[in-house]
């Protein structure tokens, strides 16, 4: 059965790949982008099945207007995919106030505004699926991406809470947590801080760890996303890629060992 999908950040990368995958199989897509000219090829190929909307997710009023326009146009919004966001490369000390605020504004608040805007629509229709594009870096961290890590950790906490609040309305909630993929996320879509020489060894070590094999093929993710959208009982969390699960298992084993090693101190702090 055809679905109506609202996707933010659909101008390139995952957003555009997934939008086209939905359109190919007969779904309707509301595709948002800061510049909708990037969607002209999809409009030419799929006509009325796609509704492009110019949207800056940082503008809350604009977000609510876009959701209203989508609902009026197609009559329903079955799935929201919050994909808009970007990466800020640089160490924490290098990060300016504006860079930090911009990163959190887009990756956290932008996602929050779109989520808040779609919830009344989904509650009224008695069904829906909200999919937040997080990252494996919302669970584990890498140096040189501190503010990005922080933004995705926030998305994880917000979304896990949301899932418990809206299940009774017939709304499913999922987190997509990709490992690295060969999109332009680290290229034209990224921002960078002003470098400090003292952190060059940290950055060199980071770069040395970026082997070709850890980056997945973006187009290969489409089938997984279609399966997620079609699932009767979708998971709260879905990794994309083969690197994420082994990495997270290794990190969590270390975390649990450390918590257990300090459990006597922790328990004593309970006071009774």
Is residue 134 part of the annotated active site? The answer reads yes
From 16, 28, 134, 199, the catalytic residue: 134
Is residue 148 part of the annotated active site? The answer reads yes
Q: What are phi and psi of 96, to 5 degrees?
A: -80, 165
From 28, 135, 148, 151, the catalytic residue: 148
CA-nearest of 247, 116, 112, 233 to 177 is 247
Output the CA–CA distances (angstroms, integers) from residue 248 to 130, 177, 258, in the order listed: 24, 11, 15
Residue spans of alpha helices (H) in 145-262 = 146-166, 200-208, 222-230, 244-261
Distance in Å from the first CA to the final CA of the chain: 56
State the Cα–Cα distance between residues 150 and 102, nearest whole angstrom: 13
From 16, 152, 174, 199, the catalytic residue: 152
Q: Judging by DSSP bridges, how do beta strands 28-33 and 50-54 pair with one another?
A: parallel
Is residue 249 part of the annotated active site? The answer reads no
- So which residues are the catalytic ones? 134, 148, 152
């Amino acid at each position: 059965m055809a679905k109506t999908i609202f996707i933010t950040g659909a101008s390139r990368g995952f957003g555009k790949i997934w939008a086209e995958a939905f359109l190919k199989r007969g779904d309707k897509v509301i595709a948002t982008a800061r510049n909708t000219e990037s969607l002209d090829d999809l409009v030419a190929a799929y006509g009325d099945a796609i509704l492009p909307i110019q949207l800056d997710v940082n503008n809350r009023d604009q977000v609510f207007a876009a959701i209203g326009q989508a609902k009026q146009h197609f009559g329903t919004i079955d799935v929201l995919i919050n994909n808009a966001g970007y990466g800020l490369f640089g160490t924490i000390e290098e990060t300016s106030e504006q860079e930090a605020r911009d990163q959190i504004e887009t990756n956290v608040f932008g996602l929050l505004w779109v989520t808040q805007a779609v919830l009344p629509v989904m509650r009224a229709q008695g069904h829906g699926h909200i999919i937040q594009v997080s990252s494996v870096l919302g669970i584990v961290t890498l140096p040189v991406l501190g503010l990005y890590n922080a933004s995705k950790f926030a998305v994880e906490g917000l979304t896990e809470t949301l899932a418990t609040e809206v299940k009774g309305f017939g709304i499913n909630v999922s987190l997509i947590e990709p490992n690295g993929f060969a999109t332009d996320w680290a290229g034209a879509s990224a921002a960078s801080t002003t470098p400090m020489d003292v952190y060059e060894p940290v950055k060199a070590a980071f770069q040395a760890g970026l082997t070709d094999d850890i980056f997945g093929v973006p187009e290969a993710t489409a089938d997984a996303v279609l399966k997620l959208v079609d699932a009767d009982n979708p998971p709260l969390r879905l990794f994309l890629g083969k690197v994420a699960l082994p990495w997270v298992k290794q990190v969590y084993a270390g975390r649990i060992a450390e918590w257990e090693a300090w459990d006597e101190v922790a328990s004593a702090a309970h006071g009774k």
